[in-house]
C-alpha cells in the first residue's frame, strides 16, 4: 500500500486559499499513485472559533469537491461540520465519490477553549475502518495525549493509524515523543500530520511524520509545505509483532 502525508499552512478563516493548497496536495498524491492521503486537522478553515458557524457552511461544497477528486485515492482529513445547530470536528475518509468512514473528535482541548465552541463526539464511537484489506485507526490532535484511543484501534486490528492535528511549536517535543511512543507501543504504522507555519495566533510545529511499527522515522516533513509518499511494508508489521509480542500480551487487559 502506498500512502501520503500532506503538510500545509492553514490560514485561519481563509477557506479559499486553504482549499486551493489542499486540493493541489491531494492531486500531487494522486499523481504519485498513492492509495491514501492524510491532510491536517480542519485543513480548510483552521480554528477561527468565533467564525465556526459561517465557516461550516463551506464544508458541504468542499466535501462534494473532495468526492469528485477521490476516485482511486482515499482522501482523509477533518472538517468543521454543523449538525442540529451543533458544531463538530469530523474526520472523513472519502473514496471513489463516497464517504466510507467518519469519526467525530471526542477529546476537546480546553486550554484553548475548543470545548466552548465544539461539541464532542461519543467516547464509545468506532475509530477504525477497512480499505484495501487493511484496517486503519483514527484519532485527532489532543487525543494523542490519551493512549487508549490508539490501543483501542490496535486491539480492533488496525495496522496503520491516522492522526491529523494542528499542534503548536511550543509543544513540539511532546508531539515528537508522543507520536513515536504511540507507534512503538501499538506496533503499527503511524501517520501523524500537522500544519506548519502560522495559523491564526498559533505558530504550528510542522514535523508531520510517518513511523514504522518499530517507531523508526520513515518520513519527516520538518516545516515544509508539501507531501511525502511511501510504500508500506506489511511484512514489517507481522514481523515486529511476532518478534516482540507486547501488543498480543496486552490483550490480557481486554479479555
Q: Is 16 helix (H, G, I), strand (E, B) or coil?
A: helix
Task: Calculate what percentage of the chain has a pLDDT beyond 70.
Answer: 99
Q: Which of 9, 76, 102, 105 is catalytic?
A: 105
pTM of structure: 0.97
Q: Using one digit for the tens of pLDDT, what is the confidence trace for 58-70?
A: 999 999 999 999 9
Q: Using one digit for the tens of pLDDT, what is the confidence trace for 202-235?
A: 899 999 999 999 999 999 999 999 999 999 998 9
pLDDT value for 138:
98
Q: Which of 9, 76, 102, 141 is catalytic?
A: 141
Show me where the domains of the chain are located. 2-254
Band (178; pLDDT cuts 50, 70, 90): very high
Band (14; pLDDT cuts 50, 70, 90): very high
Q: Using one digit for the tens of pLDDT, what is the confidence trace for 118-173?
A: 999 999 999 999 999 999 999 999 999 999 999 999 999 999 999 999 999 999 99
Q: What angle do CA 193, 69, 225 make, to 5 degrees?
A: 35
Q: Which of 41, 102, 114, 143 is catalytic?
A: 41
**Mean pLDDT throughout 90-97?**
98
In angstroms, the Cα distances linking 70 to 19, 96, 253 are 15, 5, 39
Domain 2-254 belongs to what topology? Nitrilase/N-carbamoyl-D-aminoacid amidohydrolase (3.60.110)
Supply the mean pLDDT for the chain.
Answer: 96
Determine what percent of the chain falls in helix, strand and coil, rounding each to the nearest 5: 35, 30, 35
**Is 105 annotated as catalytic?**
yes
In angstroms, the Cα distances linking 242 to 23, 75, 237 are 40, 31, 9
Amino acid at each position: 500500500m502506498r500512502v501520503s502525508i500532506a503538510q500545509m499552512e492553514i490560514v485561519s478563516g481563509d477557506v479559499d486559499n486553504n482549499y486551493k493548497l489542499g486540493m493541489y496536495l491531494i492531486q500531487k498524491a494522486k499523481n504519485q499513485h498513492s492509495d491514501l492521503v492524510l491532510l491536517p486537522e480542519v485543513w480548510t478553515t483552521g480554528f477561527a472559533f468565533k467564525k465556526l458557524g459561517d465557516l461550516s457552511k463551506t464544508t458541504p461544497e468542499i466535501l462534494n469537491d473532495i468526492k469528485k477528486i477521490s476516485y482511486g485515492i482515499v482522501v482523509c482529513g477533518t472538517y468543521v461540520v454543523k449538525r442540529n445547530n451543533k458544531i463538530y470536528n469530523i474526520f472523513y475518509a472519502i473514496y471513489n465519490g463516497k464517504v466510507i468512514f467518519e469519526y467525530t473528535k471526542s477529546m476537546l482541548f480546553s486550554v484553548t477553549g475548543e470545548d466552548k465552541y465544539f461539541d464532542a463526539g461519543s467516547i464509545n464511537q468506532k475509530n477504525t475502518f477497512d480499505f484495501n484489506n487493511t484496517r486503519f485507526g483514527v484519532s485527532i490532535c489532543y487525543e494523542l495525549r490519551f493512549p487508549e484511543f490508539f490501543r483501542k484501534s490496535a486491539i480492533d486490528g488496525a495496522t496503520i493509524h491516522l492522526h491529523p492535528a494542528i499542534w503548536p511549536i511550543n509543544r513540539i517535543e511532546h508531539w515528537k515523543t508522543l507520536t513515536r511512543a504511540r507507534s512503538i507501543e501499538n506496533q503499527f504504522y503511524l501517520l501523524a500530520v500537522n500544519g506548519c507555519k502560522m495559523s491564526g495566533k498559533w505558530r504550528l510545529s510542522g514535523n508531520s511524520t510517518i513511523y514504522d511499527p518499530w517507531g523508526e522515522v520513515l518520513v519527516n516533513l520538518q516545516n515544509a509545505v508539501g507531501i511525502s509518499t511511501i510504500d508500506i511494508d506489511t511484512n514489517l508489521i507481522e514481523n515486529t509483532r511476532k518478534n516482540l509480542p507486547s501488543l498480543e500480551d496486552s490483550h490480557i487487559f481486554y479479555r
